[in-house]
Amino acid sequence: MKVLICGGTGFLGEAITRKLLREGNAVRVLGRSLDKIRALFGDSVEGVQGDITKSETLPKALEKMEAVVQCAQFPGHPFENRKKGSTYWQVDGLGTENVARLVKKAGVRHLLYISGAGVDGKKNGAVV
């Protein structure tokens, strides 16, 4: 499959990316730093610079994907930095909502969200 990993440079995202590559999938990694993606994976993945809190950076990353794994979480976890917008709400919450909305719009059939947070269907599907 063609799979986009949001948070592919993180602890879980790197392991998921390497497993998907071993199994013969084509992996695109979205991260805030292309240099970081290249340092970790070289040419074995397609790196895309993006930020899940900036929805305008997502449509291009989603092009031609068949599945998305969202395992990005706010930098510095578990210590929030409100001044920098590094919080559960800004990144894990609203960022994941951006990913989910644009995955649907792009017609990508599979979205896997890996998190320490929950999804509460009683609150309009918001990530809480």
What residues line the site for ligand NAP (CB under 6 A)? 6-7, 9-13, 31-33, 36, 51-53, 71-75, 77, 91-92, 95, 114-116
Distance CA 81, CA 79 (A): 7
Spatial neighbors of 72 by CB under 8 A, at least 6 apart, are 6, 7, 10, 13, 30, 52, 91, 92, 95, 96
At residue 99, the 3 state secondary structure works out as helix
Identify which of residues 25 and 94 has a Cβ nearer to ligand NAP in the complex.
94
Q: What is the closest distance, in whole angstroms, from the C-beta atom of residue 25 to ligand NAP in the complex? A: 18
Q: What is the closest distance, in whole angstroms, from the C-beta atom of residue 16 to ligand NAP in the complex? A: 9
Q: Which residue is nearest to ligand NAP (CB)?
A: 10
